[in-house]
Chains A and B, each alone.
Chain A
Amino acid sequence: MKNNQAIAEQTQNTKIDWDKIKSKVAYLQEALSGNDVVSHEDKHKILKIRAKSLSLQKTEYDSNQENINIIEFLLGTESYAFETEFVREVCLLNNFTPLPGLPDFVLGIINIRGQILSIVDINKLLNLPVKGLGELNKIIVIHNAKMEFGILADSILGTRSISINSIQTSYTSMPGTGAEYLKGVTSGHIIILDAAKILNDEKIIIRQDI
């Protein structure tokens, strides 16, 4: 009997207002069909809100300082950055071909618009502890006069310009032996890697001895 009572109460509480639902459905249908359902003022309001949320933060532009442009990217849980002068481009990792007999920091090779580039995992190279699995589908192609290869990244955060002074060159918080490749850490806890060093590293060059 109690169950019946509970069920009755439930049905009472959740008594469906079918008319309300029907009107809502009709409204949605209107909206989806492309007709203007929202008023002009409402539209404006919405757009403004969006614009605000998406607007860039005003950065402290100190013209006296020297700024460098860096590309920020996410790898694992840390956000790293390269100087833009060493970055050629960024692109998606579509299909890479693994090669046998390669050291573990080299994942394989990819074909970017007809060019064959090798892909390097920074974690393995810098002996950073791997924390979790990220997306690892972005390639940052770094180059200098001699060397050119791609670095795996989870996601590209974007380019920004930061002042040189804000870079702290303390090495203490960097685990692993990758500390030598560090250029510094920004105030926003972005670890700037020394692309030149990485590019000029002897380890990168792989002999063809298998």
Chain B
Amino acid sequence: MKYFTNLSTRAKLLFSFGFIWVMLLVIIVIAYQSLQNITQSEKYLFDVHSKIALELRQLRSHQNFNRAAILDMMLTKDKTEQAAIENIITDKGKDIADIIEKLAKLKTEQQFQNRLTELKSEIEAYRQTRSEEISLIQKGKLEEAQKVATNIQKNRFEKIRAISTEMGDNAEKDAEAQLTLDLQSANTAILIFVVFGIAALFFSIIIVIIMNRTIAQPLTEITKIAARIGKGDLNVEFSMVERQDEVGILLLTFSRMVDILKQMATAAQQIAAGNLTISVVPQSEKDLLGNAFSQMLNNLRRMTKDILEGVNLLGSSASEILAATTQVASGSAETATAITETTTTVEEVRQAAQLSNQKASRVSENAQQVSQVTQTGQKAVEETVSGMHEIQNQMEAVANTIIRLSEQSQQIGGIIASVTDVADQSNLLAVNASIEAAKAGEQGKGFAVVAQEIKSLAEQSKQATIQVRNILTDVQKATSAAVMATEQTSKAVENGVKQSTQAGKAIMELAESSGKAMEAASQIVASSQQQVVGMDQIGLAMKNINQAGTENAASMLQAEKAAKGLNELGHKLKELVEQYKI
């Protein structure tokens, strides 16, 4: 048994199956032989006997047909039909001939051959008669034909039939005898079969049991173990039997596999526990699990590192987002306050715009008034200018008069000069007279008095002339003053004219500018109305912004919550990841 167990499964199977095959072979051989015999006999039966019977039957049928056909021919008067029938008969005749030939070949028994020759001759005779019949029919001698048919032909026909039937019966008998023989041999064969079969069965059962014990049971065990392993339960024990066949090897390898799996399992447990520091060495290049495990470890390590990095990043980003959202939240609060301020400012601006509108309309009114005033001013300026011209004319007249006065005073001056001269000369004369008087002495005293009087006269006149000269000087001064005054007046008038024209221009400019002011005022009115409208729109927009701001604030709160959640998540992830030691 040990030897058997240590055989390889192939050998075992070969042995077992070989044994059975041998048995089978024996059975098969026997069976083959028996069957061969049976088939032979069957074949012989068939070939010869049955076929003979069949052929004979066929012959008989053909004969019948021909017979019927001849009779038919006799009945019809149609030539064409007769011709046709004749053809058919001829054909059938040929068939019959063929059949006879076949029969001849089939069985070579003498008796049979004799009978067959007999038949053949009979058929020949029949055929001849038939030909005669046909010719008779064709000639139209139906009665004769009929006579022939019913007498000779009939007898021949009957004979043919009897022969053929006999032959057939003989054949059948032969067949039956053969059959019984066959049956006997078959039974023997069956007996042999049964015996051998039982033996084979018995042996095969034994083999099955052996095989079961050696192969199937261990395999089932292994299957169970495999099933358990399949379910994941690696706590399996192998009943280690020292076998060197495949099963043994299988058990060995299975146990090794289980060990390996246990290793992997422990490794997996380690990984599960979070220790990624372990290393898994694949058993070989093709170690799927080991490679996968090592790769998995690498990937896990890498992934854990990446995750850790990512988690850190997440954490930092989350905190940043949180900070940003808090900032935005505070910023939105500021925005809200700014919006309220802006709204109030907008309101103020609106009011200011309305005010400016009012003012502008008032300015417009004023400008109109101003334009009227400027018109009157313009007229006044024109009048002023004409008045100025009047003054200038008058001033010219005055200047002319003054010039004449000046000339006349000059003349007076000349006269005064001559009077002064006279006075001087009188003075000198007086002096001379006094000298002469002094020279005259006593007699000259009276003359001295006269001379003195002359002198005093001269003095008087001189004084007078001096006075007159003073007055003249004054007059001249006055005249020049007057001339200057006139000049100044003239200049003043010119200035006045200039200023009046300037005033006129200024008034014109004023009128223009007031016109422009009016235009501008009306534009201001329009634009301030637009401003008011715009301010309303801005107010509306501010409300919208406010609303948006509140919504924004709400969403910001949500975002803040989310960010907080994210932050917490980040922390959790970090904790989770840090469980794994890389």
Which residue numbers of A lie inside 8 Å of B, CB to CB? Answer: 50, 53-54, 56, 69, 71, 84-85, 87-92, 138, 156, 158-159
Contacts and interface: CB of A to CB of B under 8 A. Distances in A.
Contacts of B460: 50, 54
A138 B434 contact: no
A69 B438 contact: yes
Contacts of A71: 431, 435
Contacts of B452: 56
Interface residues of B, number: 16
Given A50-B460, A54-B459, A158 B438 contact: no
B428 A91 contact: yes
A88 B431 contact: no
Interface in B414-459: 424-425, 427-428, 431-432, 434-435, 438-439, 452, 455-456, 459
A91 B435 CA distance: 12
B463 interface: yes
Interface string B29-52: 000000000000000000000000
Contacts of A84: 434-435, 438-439
A29 B379 CA distance: 44
A209 to B, nearest CB: 36
Contacts of B455: 158
A156 B428 contact: yes
Contacts of A90: 428, 431-432, 435
Nearest to A73: B431
A88 B435 contact: yes
Contacts of B431: 71, 90, 156, 158-159
A159 B425 contact: no
Nearest to B428: A90
Given A54-B456, A54-B463, A156 B434 contact: no
A191 to B, nearest CB: 19
Interface in B397-429: 424-425, 427-428
23 contacts: A50-B460, A50-B463, A54-B456, A54-B460, A54-B463, A56-B452, A56-B456, A69-B438, A71-B435, A84-B438, A85-B438, A85-B439, A89-B435, A90-B432, A92-B424, A92-B425, A156-B427, A156-B431, A158-B434, A158-B455, A159-B431, A159-B434, A159-B435
A87 B438 CA distance: 10
Given A50-B460, A54-B456, A159-B438, A89 B425 contact: no
Contacts of A54: 456, 459-460, 463
A89 B432 contact: yes
A138 B424 CA distance: 10
Contacts, number: 42
Determine the main DSSP class of A at the interface with B.
strand
A122 B567 CA distance: 133
Contacts of B459: 54
Contacts of A56: 452, 456
Nearest to A7: B492
Nearest to B456: A54
A159 B447 CA distance: 14
A171 B503 CA distance: 79
B342 to A, nearest CB: 47
Nearest to A139: B428
The 8 closest A-B pairs by CB, nearest first: A159-B434, A84-B438, A89-B432, A69-B438, A90-B431, A90-B428, A156-B431, A84-B435
A69 B432 CA distance: 13
Contacts of A159: 431, 434-435, 438
Nearest to B451: A159
Contacts of B438: 69, 84-85, 159
Contacts of B432: 89-91
A88 B438 CA distance: 11
Nearest to B424: A92
Interface string B309-346: 00000000000000000000000000000000000000
B438 to A, nearest CB: 5
B429 to A, nearest CB: 9
A92 B431 CA distance: 12
Contacts of A156: 427-428, 431
B436 to A, nearest CB: 8
B23 to A, nearest CB: 157
A71 B437 CA distance: 13
A88 B436 CA distance: 8
Interface in B106-121: none
A92 to B, nearest CB: 6
Nearest to B460: A54
B435 to A, nearest CB: 5
Nearest to A159: B434
B413 to A, nearest CB: 17
A138 B460 CA distance: 20
Contacts of A91: 428, 432
Residue from B438, B439, B455, B456 with most neighbouring chain A CB atoms (10 Å) = B438
Nearest to A3: B499
Contacts of B439: 84-85
Nearest to A88: B435
Contacts of A92: 424-425, 428
Interface string B242-276: 00000000000000000000000000000000000
Given A89-B432, A158-B455, 8 more contacts: A54-B463, A84-B435, A85-B438, A87-B435, A91-B428, A156-B428, A159-B431, A159-B435
